[in-house]
Copies of this chain bind each other. A is one copy, B any other.
Amino acid sequence: MASTFGTLFRVTTFGESHGGGVGVVVDGCPPRLPLTVEELQFDLDRRRPGQSRLVTQRDEADHAEILSGVFEGYTTGTPLAVLVRNKDHNSGAYDHLKDVYRPSHADYTYDAKYGFRDWAGGGRASARETIGRVAAAAIARKLLREVAGIEVLAWVASVGDIHAAVDSAAVTLDDVEGDPTRCPDPEAAARMTEAIKQARRDGDSLGGVVGCLARNVPAGLGEPVFDKLDAELAGGLMSLPAAKGVEIGSGFAGTRMSGLTHNDAFEPGDSGPVASTNHSGGIQGGISNGADITCRVAFKPTGTIASEQKTVTRDGDATTLAAKGRHDPCVLPRAVPMVEAMVLLSVADHWLRQQAIDVLPPFDVRP
Q: Is the CB of B20 within 8 A of A273?
A: no
Is B259 within 8 A of A206, CB to CB? yes
A81 to chain B, nearest CB (A): 4
Give 19 CB contacts A-B under 8 Å: A2-B28, A3-B25, A12-B12, A15-B81, A16-B71, A23-B81, A30-B358, A72-B367, A108-B289, A109-B219, A109-B220, A109-B285, A199-B259, A206-B258, A228-B238, A230-B239, A255-B301, A258-B301, A356-B356
Determine if A187 is an interface residue (Cβ-Cβ < 8 Å).
Answer: no
Interface: A83 (CB within 8 A):
yes
B226 and A71 form a contact (CB under 8 A): no
Closest to A354 in B: B113
How many residues on A have C-beta within 8 angstroms of the other chain's C-beta atoms? 169
Number of copies of chain A assembled together:
4
B residues in contact with A218, CB < 8 Å: 112
Q: Is A249 interfacial (CB 8 A cutoff)?
A: yes
Q: Are A10 and B1 in contact (CB under 8 A)?
A: yes
Mask: chain A, 293-307; 1 = CB below 8 Å from B; 0 = not:
000001111111101
Closest to A5 in B: B226
A327 and B69 CA atoms in complex are apart in Å by 24
Of all A-B residue pairs in the complex, the 6 with the closest CB atoms, nearest first, are A106-B285, A235-B235, A205-B259, A20-B67, A234-B238, A109-B287
Contact with B along A258-291 (1 / 0, CB 8 A): 1110111111110011011001110111111110
CA distance A114 to B30 in the complex (A): 8
Binds B, one of A40-48, A52-60, A164-172, A309-317: A309-317
Q: Which of B27, B108, B305 contacts A2 (CB 8 A)?
A: B27
Q: Contacts A231-B236, A312-B267, A367-B72; is A219 near B112 (CB within 8 Å)?
A: yes
Of B160, B199, B255, B289, the contact of A299 (CB 8 Å cutoff)? B255
Bitwise, A213-249 to B at CB < 8 A (1) or not (0) is 0000011111111111011111111110101111111
**Which residues of A from 143 to 157 have beta carbons under 8 Å from B?**
146-147
Q: Is B2 in contact with A223, judged by CB distance below 8 angstroms?
A: yes
Do B68 and A112 touch across chains, with their CB atoms under 8 A apart?
A: no
A363 touches B116 (CB 8 A): yes
Nearest B residue to A274 by beta-carbon distance? B312
Decide: A115 near B255, CB < 8 A? Known: A14-B69, A78-B124. Answer: no
Give a binary string over A90-105; 1 marks a CB under 8 Å from any B CB, 0 the rest.
0000000000010111
CB distance from A71 to the nearest CB of B (A): 4
For residue A78, which residues in chain B have a CB less than 8 angstroms away from its CB? 3, 14, 16, 118, 123-124, 224
